[in-house]
Structure formats: C-alpha cells, structure tokens
Amino acid sequence: MEGKVALVLGVANRWSIGHAIAKAFVREGAEVILTYQGDRQKQTVEELASEIKARQVLPCDVTEDAQVDALASMLANELKSRDTALNAVVHSIAFANREDLSRPFVETSRAGFALAQDVSAYSLVAVARATAPLMAAPGHDGAPGGGSIMTLTYLGSTRVVENYNVMGVAKASLEASVRYLAAGLGPSNIRVNAISAGAVKTTSARGIRDFSKMLEGGAKLAPLRRATDPVEVADTAVFLASDLGRGVTGNIIYVDAGMQIMGFALTE
Ligand code: NAP
C-alpha cells in the first residue's frame, strides 16, 4: 500500500476493528486519515492516531450530511495540496439502541429500526457518494484510477443470530447497498466490498445481550475452533485496499474462522 492514502471511519478505541485495519494499513506503507464522531471522542482518537502514526484526524458524524460533506471538502483540500488522490475508504460504523439488541425483535420500534438503518447502512451510501469523487479518474497513460471502498458486516444479515435483531436487518441492507454501489461505481474502477467478520469483543459488540456467549459459542463451532482475530480481518482489508484485490467487487468476504458454513454440531 506504499503511496496510497486511506480514510478509516469508526475507530473508537484500541479494540475497534477499524483500529486494527488502520494499523495494518500503516504497516503496509499507506497514509491513514481517521475520523471521530464528536468532541467526546476527539482526544482519544487523536492519541490513537499519533500512536499508530496516522497522518490526520478529522471530525465526522455520519448521520449529518453537512458533516459528511465537510469531511469530503477537508479531504479534497488536503489531497489537492499534495497533488494526490484517495485510494481507500473503510466504513467501520454501526449503531442501534441497546434495548433493540436484547428484547424480542417484534418489539423493535419504528424509530429504533430507522436509527439502525441510518447509522449502520445508509451512512455507507453517504460516505461513498462524498468520497468517490476524491479517487483518481482513469489516466491518459492507461492508469485505471479508482479505488476501494469497504465496510464491515456480520452473519446476522442472512441468518438469525439471537439478540442481533435490528442490526441483522441493517446489515442485510448494508450488504445490498454494497452490491448496488459496486455496480454503480464499477465503471469508475471503484470497488465496493464488505468483510463479514466473526465476533470480536469491542465496545459496540458489548451492547448485544449475551455477546460473550455468542463469542464463545462461535469459537467452539467454527471449523478453525477459535474466535476471529481482528488482525486477520485487517489483513483482508489490506488485500481489498491494495492492487491485489483489483478484481474483487460487490463481494461479502467472510473472515470468521469458517463460522458461516456451519449448521449445528453434534459434539460438545
Ligand atoms: P466499535 O469499536 O464500537 O466501532 C464502532 C464505531 O462506529 C465507533 O467508532 C463509533 O463511534 C462509530 N459510530 C457510531 N455511530 C456513528 C456516527 N453517527 N458517526 C460516526 N461514527 C459512528 O465496534 P466494532 O465492533 O469495531 O464495529 C465496527 C464495525 O464492525 C461495525 O460495522 C460492526 O457492526 C462491525 N462488526 C463487528 C463485529 C464484532 O463482533 N465486533 C463483527 C462483525 C462486524 P463512537 O464510539 O464515537 O460512537
């Protein structure tokens, strides 16, 4: 990823999947720009950025169109001043009300449903629309231009995972958005994919009732008989962001120790 510039949205702390991805990008030679949601998170994200040697930290609450647009113009100025383009965008963001991740799905309120969709699915569309123009146009010299946009999803989009509820529906919408975005942006050589990660203990994950049972159960059932390491998710993000992933778009890539192939097991 030497010489590439990547934007990573969704680093809250050192346990965030986005943090592992940003670290891996820097390890592979990329320049990384992080975002934070609000002033509450500013200092933490700035400290993490300096630790992992990210280049810049910018504000962005993805539910506010004005903030998404402001992020794009700050990035545009920065990229222009250095005569470069954006190569990769990582959308590692999700949110749902805590009560919607514990009570029966049928109890989901209209507002809770809309909130989960807005933050966890629509925001990918908003971010893609704002950042795609910052990626390089195809060059006269035959350079393909374009870039790579990716998001994080979970098995609860296609299977019922107890308590994942409204977030599973939002992830189904997110995955469909990946396909439509990939089709729309493909002619500009912009690839759009999702990584479906196995359960990882993060702040968001702790909001799901009985998450530790989900983590332990998954580790027992998965073909590799272990939980997912965020570093392996990050390595797949490197693949997608780099030229190695140049033929891959519109895909959901599972990095979950094989969990998604399993039905149920007869052994303890
Ligand atoms: P995390 O560390 O809590 O990251 C979630 C991030 O989303 C936080 O940085 C949070 O910022 C941000 N966010 C929420 N609302 C936002 C908004 N309106 N504007 C901007 N940012 C906002 O948890 P994570 O597990 O790494 O989650 C990252 C992604 O991976 C999510 O899409 C999640 O669904 C997905 N995923 C997680 C797992 C897992 O088991 N952990 C498995 C598969 C997929 P604040 O902290 O400032 O609110």
Backbone angles phi, psi at 211, to 5 degrees: -60, -40
204 Cα to the center of ligand 1, angstroms: 6
So what's the pLDDT on residue 107?
A: 97
Q: Which residues contact 64 (CB under 8 A, 6 or more apart)?
A: none
Q: Which residues contact 12 (CB under 8 A, 6 or more apart)?
A: 18, 41, 44, 45, 202, 203, 204
pLDDT band at 265 (very low <50, low <70, confident <90, very high): confident
Active-site residue flag, 154: yes
Helix pair angle (165-185, 110-117), 10° resolution: 40
Report the distance separating Cα 150 and Cα 9, nearest Å.
11
Name the helix (H) or strand (E) containing 175: helix 165-185
74 Cα to the center of ligand 1, angstroms: 23
Strand boundaries in 147-263, DSSP class E: 147-153, 190-197, 252-255
pLDDT band at 93 (very low <50, low <70, confident <90, very high): very high
* Domains in the chain, CATH or no CATH each: 5-255 (3.40.50.720)
Q: What percent of the chain has pLDDT over 90?
A: 93
Which residue among 36, 164, 180, 254 is the active-site one? 164
Report the distance separating Cα 161 and Cα 172, nearest Å.
13
Q: What percent of the chain has pLDDT over 70?
A: 99
Report the distance separating Cα 245 and Cα 242, nearest Å.
6
Rounded mean pLDDT of the chain? 96
**What is the token pair recorded at 69?**
């647009």
pLDDT, tens digit, 9 for 90 and up, residues 50-69: 999 999 999 999 999 999 99
Active-site residue flag, 36: no
Mean pLDDT in residue range 130-134: 98
Closest CA to 86 of 175, 192, 190: 190
Residue 139 in this model has a pLDDT that exceeds 90 = no
For the Cβ of 152 lying below 6 angstroms from any atom of ligand 1, the answer is yes
Closest CA to 177 of 123, 214, 246: 123
So what's the pLDDT on residue 46?
A: 97
pTM: 0.97
For the Cβ of 166 lying below 6 angstroms from any atom of ligand 1, the answer is no
So what's the pLDDT on residue 138?
A: 82
Q: Decide: 134 and 72 in contact? Cβ < 8 Å.
A: yes
Q: Decide: 239 and 54 in contact? Cβ < 8 Å.
A: no
Stated length of the chain? 268
For the Cβ of 157 lying below 6 angstroms from any atom of ligand 1, the answer is no
Residue 141 in this model has a pLDDT that exceeds 90 = no
Residue 268 in this model has a pLDDT that exceeds 70 = no
pLDDT, tens digit, 9 for 90 and up, residues 172-225: 999 999 999 999 999 999 999 999 999 999 999 999 999 999 999 999 999 999
Residue 32 in this model has a pLDDT that exceeds 80 = yes
Report the distance separating Cα 190 and Cα 209, nearest Å.
37
So what's the pLDDT on residue 97?
A: 96
So what's the pLDDT on residue 142?
A: 82
